Amino acid sequence: MKYLAKECLRLFGKCLFIDFHGFTKPRDDYQDIIFGNIFSNTLSIKSKVGTTSNDEFWGLSELKTQFLPHFSMDDGRCVNDISIGYSGGYITHQFYRKNNINAIQLEIADNIRNDLSLTNLFIDDFIKGIINCVKNA
């Protein structure tokens, strides 16, 4: 994984590293998608949207924009009533405070993975988010 990130940096000058996982929702009101980013510590590259807002982290912003109309989510930036402060796992910790690399772990709930229509919606949203990342690179 570190080789892939280094190669991406060599070719493009920056890297968005996404690690996918799944989880079983413990209750119905739990989020559908959870971002792990060590409470924004694996996010430093800003999107080219003309703002310096912390909500405009490259990758996080574009994916959130696509997912929000269809799924509930925790963007991994703070602890709230539902989140227990998930920060990501081994792979996100490998990219902790690395220059020109944004790393995000995506935890996808079982209801999305087990329902083909929700799976397809997630994939469509994810692809649109990635296309927007490339546009904002």
Tens of pLDDT, residue by residue over 49-87, are 666 666 789 999 999 999 999 999 988 877 666 555 567
| Cβ proximity of 108 and 100 under 8 Å | no
How high is the pLDDT of residue 2?
A: 80
Alpha helices in the chain (DSSP H): 2-12, 60-67, 90-94, 110-114, 116-135
CATH of 2-135, one of 3.40.50.2020, 3.30.390.50, 3.40.630.40, 3.40.50.620: 3.40.630.40
Which tens digits make up the pLDDT trace of 105-130?
A: 999 999 999 999 999 999 999 999 99
Q: How confident is the model at residue 47 (pLDDT cuts 50, 70, 90)?
A: confident
Where exactly are the structural domains of the chain? 2-135
CA distance 134 to 77: 23
Category of 58 on φ-ψ map: left (φ > 0), alpha (ψ -120 to 50) or beta:
beta
Coarse DSSP helix, strand, coil percentages of the chain, rounded to the nearest 5 percent: 40, 20, 45
Q: How confident is the model at residue 45 (pLDDT cuts 50, 70, 90)?
A: very high
Q: What is the β-pairing status of strands 101-109 and 15-23? A: parallel
